[in-house]
Structure formats: C-alpha cells, structure tokens
C-alpha cells in the first residue's frame, strides 16, 4: 500500500537505483559468530562498512573485501530481512558523500538532504531531489555463501 502511494512521487513509476559507477562488492561473514559480532540481527538495525576507512574499526577485512562505491550500509528491515545499500548518495554520485541513518530510521544525504527509507521500502527516496528525480539507493544482495560462508554481501 505504501509503495503504491510512493510510486507517483518518483516519476514514471520507475526507480533508478543504478546511477553509481560500477564498484566491486564482496563482504564475507565466515561464521555465525562473525555475523553476531559485525552484522545486524534485529529489525531496523544498520551498520556501515567502509574498507578504506576501516569502518567498523575491528572488522577483519581481507584482500578480497570490497565495499562498493561509497561503502556498504547493511540493514535488517522492519520484518527482519537483510538488505545492503551503497552509502553513496545517488544524486551526488560521489564516493565521499555518504548517507547516514538518523534516529528516525531514515538515511539522509548530508549534502543534498535527500532522504531514503531503508527499513520499510528498498532504499526508496522519500524526500529531496532524489524523490523528485526517482533516484533510489543502489542495492546489493545479502545471503548465505556458496562456499560455506555464513553470510555474504555481493
């Protein structure tokens, strides 16, 4: 129902969530203990991963860890599903302009002030220039690894 109300706001009933330059994404949680320590477990939780800045500072990044264009925002939705977004604002398209999650659970760009729903809708814009243009956060997949890893963001 909320999605049906939001679609007219993003123009042409289409969400553009592939505006960022291509970047490698590969973040591995090898064990359940890794996921408990560094992942997200309950509804409406989020955690940022930015390899170049070593965020989070004690995450065991490896040579084959990649966190996308602007970093990865790993989230657990309202119903407990896992989703990941690129943290770069799709309006600004700069790796150093990253959305941040506020106390209200909405991710906001510090430069253009576009706002995105990351827990109820899949990175849909809810305010600002991104909503006017229909630019959503770029999404990545989260799921069990094919090689026995507990969870992988790709």
The full DSSP string for 58-100 is T----TT-EETTT-EEEEE-TTS-EEEEE-B-TTT--TT-B-E
Residue 1 reports pLDDT greater than 70? no
Question: Strands 82-86 and 142-143: what pairing?
Answer: unpaired
Give me the chain's average pLDDT, please: 92
Q: At 60, phi and psi to the nearest 5? A: -80, 70
Domain with residues 23-147, CATH architecture = 3-layer Sandwich (2.102)
Nearest to 31 by CA among 149, 153, 152: 149
Alpha carbon distance 116, 100 (integer Å): 10
Q: What is the mean pLDDT of residues 145-150?
A: 95
pLDDT recorded at residue 92: 98
Read off the pLDDT band of 13 (50, 70, 90): low
pLDDT of residue 123: 97
Please give the angle made by the CA atoms of 51, 154 and 138, to the nearest 5 degrees: 85
Predicted TM-score (pTM) of this structure: 0.90
What is the per-residue pLDDT across 87-127, written as a single tens digit (0 to 9) for each? Answer: 999 999 999 999 999 999 999 999 999 999 999 999 999 99
């Amino acid at each position: 129902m909320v999605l049906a109300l939001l679609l007219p706001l993003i123009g042409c009933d289409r969400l553009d969530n592939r505006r960022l330059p291509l970047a490698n994404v590969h973040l591995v949680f090898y064990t359940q203990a890794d996921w408990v320590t560094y992942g997200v477990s309950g509804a409406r939780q989020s955690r940022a991963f930015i390899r170049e800045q070593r965020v989070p500072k004690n995450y065991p990044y490896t040579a084959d860890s990649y966190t996308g264009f602007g970093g990865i925002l790993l989230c657990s939705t309202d119903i407990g599903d896992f989703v990941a977004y690129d943290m770069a604002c799709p309006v600004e398209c700069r790796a150093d302009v990253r959305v941040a999650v506020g106390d209200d659970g909405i991710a906001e760009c510090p430069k253009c002030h576009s706002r995105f729903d990351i827990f109820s809708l899949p990175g849909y814009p809810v305010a600002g220039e991104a909503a006017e243009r229909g630019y959503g956060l770029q999404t990545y997949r989260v799921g069990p690894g094919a090689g026995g890893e507990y969870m992988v963001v790709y």
